[in-house]
Structure 1
Amino acid sequence: MTKTRNFVLGISLGLAFCGATYAADAIKIGLPVGLSGANSVLAPSVVQSAELAVEKINAKGGVLGRKLTLEIADDGSGAQGAQRAYDSLIFQKKVDVIISMENSAARNAGLPIVNRGKVPMIYTSFYEGRSCSPWMYVNAWVPEQQVAPVVDHFMSDKNAKKFFLIGSDYAFGRGMLEFTRKYVKSKGGTVVGEEYLPMDGSDWTAVISQLRSAAPDALITSTVGGAPNVTLTKQLRAAGIKIPYGNLAVDEATAKTMGTDAEGIYISASYLSSLDNPANKQFLKAAKAKFGDKMQTPNELSEPVYEAIYAYAAAVEKAGATDGDKVVKALSSVSVEGPRGTIVMNKQHHAPLTMYLGRVKGDGSVEVINSFPNVDPGKQCPRLAD
């Protein structure tokens, strides 16, 4: 096994520097994110996590004596906007790294530009899996880590045998539900219906009608993060759908925007703001101190951005430079101790993660039902195996 170098968030980086005296040239972190479009519900928390990590690292003297700066670009929550954002960040802004919390359509559009520019990228959004590039690492979950806790709970505790699947019609929605369908069947269950709407779809009336007709025991959904999660859930509640409901794409921040409509949704996540560990308490305290009443709810789609910036900083320190090829080689052999525990992206550029099965309460917070330590991401990118 490759030996990892461990960095504790907010403590180990920059120990050689006692003040905020930096070399003249800053290290630029490119952050493409959906400031507009469906992901705009999530973007504020993502930006805050990035700002917090940069501020804390700079307060310790930066990285190799250089200050970190953020370059934020709106990807419009889609492919066309992502192409413009990546092109601007890599070839105009000349960023040293891309830290990306985006939907799969945006990622797929941006990745060829990353490959062409030969810039390291850490993708921080949970996704459908098997997106591979020598330049990209992933610190978020894939279906092999996320689906089983929900399906197994519904089968064992809710006696569910017939499942109905609803998704957004793009890579993530279809990829997640393809895996879910196969997993349900492998466990002896059946899928009695599977329906999709376009990414920007908002009228789920016909889909809910199909759901009623199929009379399933449980519902599992995989819609694009943000607005579609809200519209679908509200319409399900208005229609009086009361069967067990597992959402593979909702996060705490979005759940809070739903209000009482989110109550009872089951989720499987690698991060919850209620995690009771010193690193998470420190993270939440620092975020509250920096943003005050404007603090967004830290969530599964924002907290990994915080850890990704620390992982990049650790890789630069290990490499002794920001050269893309050197940093990429270092990324699989550094670890960070953060709110989610120890994160090492050494499994074919992906990371084993502790997963939590939770149920959303009426106030939008999540009650943890069970935990599953160090779940392996499975075979994602065999050609990138270390």
Structure 2
Amino acid sequence: MSNNRRNFLKQTAAYGATAALGPGLWASAARAESEIDVGVLFSLTGGLSIVEQSLADATLMAIDEINAAGGVMGKKLNPIVEDGASDARTFNERASKLVLRDRVPTVFGCYTSASRKAVLPIFERRNNMLFYPTYYEGFECSKNVVYTGAVPNQQLSNYIPWIINTLGKKKFFIVGSNYIYPREMAKVSKILIEQNGGEWVADEYLELGHSEWGAMVSRIKSSGCDVVLSNVVGDSVIAFYREFRNQGLTHDQLPICATVTSEIEIAAMGAEVAAGSFTSFPYFQAIDTTANNDFVERYRRFVDDSSAVTQHALECSYFQVYLWKQAVEKAGEVTPDAIREGIKGQTFDAPNGKVTVDGENLHTFLTPRIAQWGGDGQGEIIDEYPEPIKPLPYVAYGETDGDLFCSAAGLDSSRL
């Protein structure tokens, strides 16, 4: 199979015609052909497709590479691709199809916390596995999810003190899209802001996909803040940054410090609009290593776009498929229970560096980084931890390396 997304999707479409015969018939065909079905569930349409299409592409690229190298236990991976359509209800329906009708042992997918929350009951009720590649707000402890994106201690615990102590900014205007991720990230941020001697002057939200930011930016201008902490998501990011610039605000005087804005949104809005602003992620395309440079080039070839950009959730979407492969090969079988046990402690040399799945909470060790966006659309990494750090999804409640709230035994809810 060639490393080309167009050819790969043609083969996936051909699978869809076979699947129409019914799940029982396809399951028999898959066994006969020595294939392993896996689900791929992202928004390919709607406002969130600006990011999620690339996550699907990265997942398919990893599957393509694994198949080209001989597959998993000698079997080719067969992706069943579904469109969440930027809608939580649709995500629920598509996840139900993958788990109940297609009977896949694992689904790689979801971007927003709203979509993850919408599908979580399906995976927990049916004891299936979801590999979730997005940085998120924490406050979750499920034996049916492997979380490969950053949690707050890997994205905010370094960021807020840096904004206050290095940038010298202490008055925060917190703004976000109106759903669980931005609201919970704001809660964690407020704790860290107060602990580090800062203050927050506002905490406001607009609906996901909202494109009219004039009134909100006017409130930011008149608030007296000296920094904007942005948890805005999806194509709203583009409208927000453009309106920020339209109203004469500049990042050298009033910087936007974001937890979501990535290379993809920067490319969509125009690099000059975001130049001078900041983002905290464990991965940036600008990581200058042979492994990452090769990854970027392979991704561009796969999507047949020499100017395509990579970003944190995209990179997690890629490396989590390899972690899954290693878990299956360690377990020697493709069942959710075997995958869950096999994934514990798995390590992989990802484009961002070494990643390891924590055996207690099924979250991932990652390296915190902060970058400032330049006029070329790339982030200059200006702060970086020396090594990956342990994921603590309940850090806002006081969870520490030596005092875990989420462990292999489950969540100790008495601590919350």
What is the TM-score when the length of structure 1 is the normalising length?
0.90
- CA apart distance, 1:337: 1.2
RMSD: 1.8
Name 1:378's counterpart in structure 2: 392
Say whether residues 1:348 and 2:361 are aligned partners. yes
- CA apart distance, 1:374: 1.6
Name 1:133's counterpart in structure 2: 142
Aligned-partner SS, 1:268:
strand
* Compared CA separation, residues 379 and 297, structure 1 to 2 (3 A): closer
Contact 1:169–1:198 (Cα < 8 Å) also in 2:
yes
Say whether residues 1:240 and 2:263 are aligned partners. no
CA distance in 1, matches of 2:69, 2:32: 14
CA distance in 1, matches of 2:307, 2:276: 25
Which stretch has the larger CA shift, 317-326 or 274-283? Answer: 274-283
1:185-230 per-residue CA deviation (whole Å, 9 max, x = no partner) reads 1101110111111223222222222212211111111012x20111
Say whether residues 1:365 and 2:373 are aligned partners. no
* Compared CA separation, residues 38 and 289, structure 1 to 2 (3 A): closer
Residues 239-278 of structure 1: pairs in structure 2 closer than 5 A: 239-242=247-250, 243-259=254-270, 260-278=272-290
Name 2:109's counterpart in structure 1: 100
CA distance in 1, matches of 2:117, 2:110: 12
Contact 1:271–1:340 (Cα < 8 Å) also in 2:
yes
Name 1:28's counterpart in structure 2: 37
What amino acid is aligned across from residue 383 of structure 2 in structure 1? N
Name 2:237's counterpart in structure 1: 229
Residue identity (%): 27
CA distance in 2, matches of 1:353, 1:269: 9
Say whether residues 1:120 and 2:143 are aligned partners. no
- CA apart distance, 1:65: 0.9
What amino acid is aligned across from residue 137 of structure 1 in structure 2? V
What amino acid is aligned across from residue 110 of structure 1 in structure 2? V
CA distance in 2, matches of 1:353, 1:310: 16
Name 1:161's counterpart in structure 2: 170
2:303 corresponds to which of 277, 291, 299:
291
CA distance in 2, matches of 1:117, 1:71: 18
CA distance in 2, matches of 1:290, 1:158: 39
Aligned-partner SS, 2:304:
helix
Name 1:3's counterpart in structure 2: none
1:347-374 per-residue CA deviation (whole Å, 9 max, x = no partner) reads 5111121111101111211111110132
CA distance in 2, matches of 1:359, 1:48: 26
- CA apart distance, 1:178: 1.0
CA distance in 2, matches of 1:33, 1:163: 33
Name 2:21's counterpart in structure 1: none
Contact 1:34–1:40 (Cα < 8 Å) also in 2:
yes
- CA apart distance, 1:295: 6.5
Contact 1:154–1:244 (Cα < 8 Å) also in 2:
no
CA distance in 2, matches of 1:229, 1:49: 22
Aligned-partner SS, 2:383:
strand
Structure 1: runs of 5 or more not aligned: 1-21
Number of equivalenced pairs:
364
Contact 1:348–1:382 (Cα < 8 Å) also in 2:
no
CA distance in 1, matches of 2:148, 2:89: 25
- CA apart distance, 1:101: 3.7
Residues 30-109 of structure 1: pairs in structure 2 closer than 5 A: 30-109=39-118
Larger relative contact order (Cα-Cα within 8 Å, sequence gap ≥ 6): 1
- CA apart distance, 1:117: 2.2
Aligned-partner SS, 2:388:
strand
Name 2:15's counterpart in structure 1: none
Name 2:347's counterpart in structure 1: 335
Contact 1:78–1:103 (Cα < 8 Å) also in 2:
no
- CA apart distance, 1:383: 4.2
CA distance in 2, matches of 1:169, 1:76: 18
What amino acid is aligned across from residue 331 of structure 2 in structure 1? A
Structure 2: runs of 5 or more not aligned: 1-30, 395-403, 410-416
- CA apart distance, 1:317: 0.2
Name 1:152's counterpart in structure 2: 161
What is the TM-score when the length of structure 2 is the normalising length?
0.83
CA distance in 2, matches of 1:383, 1:288: 38
Contact 1:361–1:367 (Cα < 8 Å) also in 2:
yes
Say whether residues 1:198 and 2:207 are aligned partners. yes
Aligned-partner SS, 2:157:
helix
Contact 2:154–2:282 (Cα < 8 Å) also in 1:
no
1:329-352 per-residue CA deviation (whole Å, 9 max, x = no partner) reads 111122111112221111511112
What amino acid is aligned across from residue 257 of structure 2 in structure 1? G
